[in-house]
């Protein structure tokens, strides 16, 4: 039982990603790092495994054309764009972006990187086609019409309509570049390449389902020799086992540390915690087609019955953040600073339930036990909050939510990361027609929301975009196909001698400018 006491930018020149040109280190001088994680992904196809556990690994295996600089002096929001596989870019017109590609880059299999790989990465065959084996690609690049080759190291991205965020898209999810020939050769049996090669600092060495993913250094990395010889992501579901392994020296980094475990780890001399509030929100998803949940007043009541501050205080020691709507401050001038906070009003919830004619029909809340930190206690607390206003809710704990048929999911938990610092990268990307709620789970089929979102992602005027973003969030909150709970505090445990900084994403950046081991001189 839950205890209630308790900018469009043109950049030219060489990469400005910090000290990428680190002094080379021999393999013997580099550590073999072990990262203990709660779970690992079933594939390393970077546009297939768009998950918290997937991007943690693929971020250091693949590169994007443009990169978000999370190490900038701006505070680590990642809003600044810097060169990566593209050395410069410019807008030719409202629907055309031209990029100059970095020369001399090789993939981890020794193949040379060029324009053909870029074109294939975003091709209908792989990413943006109606029958693409990577269906989420259209959620990120549905506005893309085609990529044209100007020469071996110049490409043009041409969109169906003006896209104010194209540069940000090319620096974010689903845009990691793959080797065309390697991908096609490996895709014959599965429809997509389960373990393609990239141009990043680490490459796949070994993969054992339900045990570990082992990466090894790719010393041909264009950004400088990697500072670890190998990095193994070992699956350790139990939090106590991860902490014990960190303290004993078995693990170098551990993930998903709960707030009440921070002091315990920090009490040791040679290990410490490193925390960041994520540009991500834990959310609930409601099946609006379920007969019990069809009336939006019932869903609104469920949202009003949740005391988010109590959840943050009791589960996160006050260190998580409840945003004022489905948005984040890194949206900059698209952030609605004066938007009212998410409401908590049990009496209004009771009134809405009565108006909707709710008569105690059972509502089932499904969750996995360990995928999200605090998922289970949060679910238990929310059920008690719902019961307090008269909602007959029960808990269904399963090992794999995606194994349940859509019609058996009434309420499920989820998380929403903001893929770009803009409403299109948060609310629209995750809840739009190609996001999981509409396309995968088929739990929501809005008309007005989709019409406004499509205007938002193809409008260049800032004032018009701002009004559309307000309207989009208003529509989502009114129809209540789900709700935000909070932005979680993500805490890692790490050896003090390991100089590595977590980001506001689930990315685990292991590039030379963000990973140094003083114990090994690397």
CB-based contact 84:11 (threshold 8 Å): no
Question: Which architecture, in CATH terms, is 62-183?
Answer: Alpha-Beta Complex (3.90)
Please state the rounded mean pLDDT for residues 288-294: 97
Return all residues near 359 (Cβ < 8 A) that are at least 6 apart.
none
**328-339 tens-digit pLDDT:** 988 989 999 999
Residue with the two structure tokens 């001189």: 521
CB-based contact 260:317 (threshold 8 Å): yes
Closest by Cα among 383, 271, 278, 287 to 328: 278
Angle (CA) 476-403-489 rounded to 5° is 55
What is the pLDDT at residue 14?
A: 33
Does position 22 have pLDDT exceeding 90, yes or no? no
Does position 166 have pLDDT exceeding 50, yes or no? yes
At 195 the three-state DSSP class reads coil
What is the pLDDT at residue 111?
A: 98
What is the pLDDT at residue 485?
A: 98
pTM: 0.83
Selected residue with higher pLDDT from 354 and 16: 354
Does position 237 have pLDDT exceeding 70, yes or no? yes
At 482 the three-state DSSP class reads strand
CB-based contact 461:8 (threshold 8 Å): no
310 burial level (CB within 10 Å; 0-12, 13-18, 19+): middle
- Cα separation of 262 and 97, whole Å? 46
CB-based contact 302:292 (threshold 8 Å): no
- Cα separation of 230 and 504, whole Å? 24
Report H helices in 75-221.
Answer: 115-121, 137-141, 166-169, 180-186
At 310 the three-state DSSP class reads helix
At 98 the three-state DSSP class reads strand
- Cα separation of 141 and 463, whole Å? 24
Rounded to whole angstroms, what are the CA distances from 17 to 73, 90, 114, 518?
Answer: 12, 20, 22, 21
CB-based contact 318:486 (threshold 8 Å): no
H or E segment to which residue 462 belongs: helix 462-479
Average pLDDT along the chain: 91
Does position 473 have pLDDT exceeding 90, yes or no? yes
CB-based contact 380:412 (threshold 8 Å): no
CATH homologous superfamily, domain 30-61+200-278+488-522: Periplasmic binding protein-like II (3.40.190.10)
Which residue intervals of the chain bear CATH 3.10.105.10?
A: 280-486
What is the pLDDT at residue 320?
A: 96
Q: Token pair of 436, please? A: 């999981």
**364-400 tens-digit pLDDT:** 999 998 889 899 999 999 999 999 999 999 999 999 9
Per DSSP bridges, beta strands 393-397 and 363-367 are: parallel
Return all residues near 133 (Cβ < 8 A) that are at least 6 apart.
48, 126, 187, 190, 191, 192
Q: Token pair of 439, please? A: 């396309």
Question: Which architecture, in CATH terms, is 280-486?
Answer: Roll (3.10)
Please state the rounded mean pLDDT for residues 510-520: 91
**75-125 tens-digit pLDDT:** 555 678 999 999 999 999 999 999 999 999 999 999 999 999 999 999 999
- Cα separation of 167 and 43, whole Å? 27
Does position 7 have pLDDT exceeding 50, yes or no? no
Q: Token pair of 137, please? A: 């690609």
Q: Token pair of 71, please? A: 């190490």
Which residue intervals of the chain bear CATH 3.40.190.10?
A: 30-61+200-278+488-522
């Amino acid at each position: 039982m839950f205890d209630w006491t308790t900018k469009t930018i043109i950049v030219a020149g060489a990469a400005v990603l910090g000290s990428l040109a680190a002094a080379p280190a021999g393999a013997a001088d580099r550590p073999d790092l072990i990262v203990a994680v709660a779970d690992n992904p079933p594939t390393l196809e970077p546009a297939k495994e768009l998950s918290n556990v997937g991007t943690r690994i693929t971020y250091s295996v693949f590169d994007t054309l443009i990169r978000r600089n999370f190490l900038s002096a701006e505070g680590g929001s990642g809003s600044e764009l810097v060169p990566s596989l593209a050395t410069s870019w410019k807008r030719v017109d409202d629907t055309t972006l031209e990029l100059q590609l970095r020369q001399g880059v090789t993939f981890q299999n020794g193949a040379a990187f060029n324009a053909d790989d870029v074109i294939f990465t975003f091709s209908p065959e792989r990413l943006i086609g109606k029958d693409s084996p990577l269906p989420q690609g259209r959620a990120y690049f549905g506005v893309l019409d085609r990529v044209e080759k100007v020469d071996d190291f110049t490409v043009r991205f041409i969109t169906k309509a003006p896209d104010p965020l194209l540069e940000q898209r090319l620096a974010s999810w689903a845009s990691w570049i793959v080797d065309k020939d390697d991908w096609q050769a490996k895709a014959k049996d599965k429809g997509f390449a389960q373990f393609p090669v990239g141009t990043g600092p680490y490459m796949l060495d070994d993969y054992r389902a339900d045990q570990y993913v082992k990466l090894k250094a790719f010393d041909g990395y264009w950004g400088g020799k990697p500072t670890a010889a190998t990095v193994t992501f070992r699956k350790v579901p139990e939090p106590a086992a991860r902490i014990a392994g960190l303290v004993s020296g078995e693990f170098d980094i551990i993930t998903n540390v709960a707030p009440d475990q921070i002091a315990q780890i920090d009490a040791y001399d040679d290990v410490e915690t490193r925390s960041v509030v994520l540009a991500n929100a834990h959310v609930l998803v409601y099946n609006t087609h379920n007969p019990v949940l069809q009336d939006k007043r019932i869903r609104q009541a469920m949202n009003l019955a949740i005391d988010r501050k109590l959840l943050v205080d009791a589960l996160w020691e006050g260190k998580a953040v409840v945003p004022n709507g489905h948005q984040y401050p890194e949206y900059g001038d698209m952030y609605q600073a004066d938007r009212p906070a998410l409401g908590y009003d049990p009496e209004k919830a009771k009134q809405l339930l009565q108006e909707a004619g709710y008569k105690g029909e059972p509502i089932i809340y499904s969750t996995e036990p360990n995928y999200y930190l605090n998922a289970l206690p949060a679910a238990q607390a929310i059920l008690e909050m719902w019961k307090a206003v008269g909602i007959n809710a029960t808990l269904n704990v399963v090992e794999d939510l995606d194994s349940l048929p859509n019609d058996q999911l009434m309420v499920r938990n989820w998380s929403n990361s903001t893929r770009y610092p803009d409403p299109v990268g948060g609310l629209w990307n995750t809840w739009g027609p190609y996001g999981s709620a509409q396309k995968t789970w088929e739990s929501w089929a809005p008309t007005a929301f989709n019409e406004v979102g499509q205007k938002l992602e193809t409008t260049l005027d800032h004032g018009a975009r701002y009004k559309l973003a307000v309207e989009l969030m208003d529509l989502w909150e009114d129809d209540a196909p789900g709700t935000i709970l909070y932005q979680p505090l993500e805490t890692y445990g790490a050896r003090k001698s390991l100089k590595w900084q977590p980001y506001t994403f689930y990315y685990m950046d292991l590039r030379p400018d963000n990973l140094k081991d003083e114990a090994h001189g690397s």
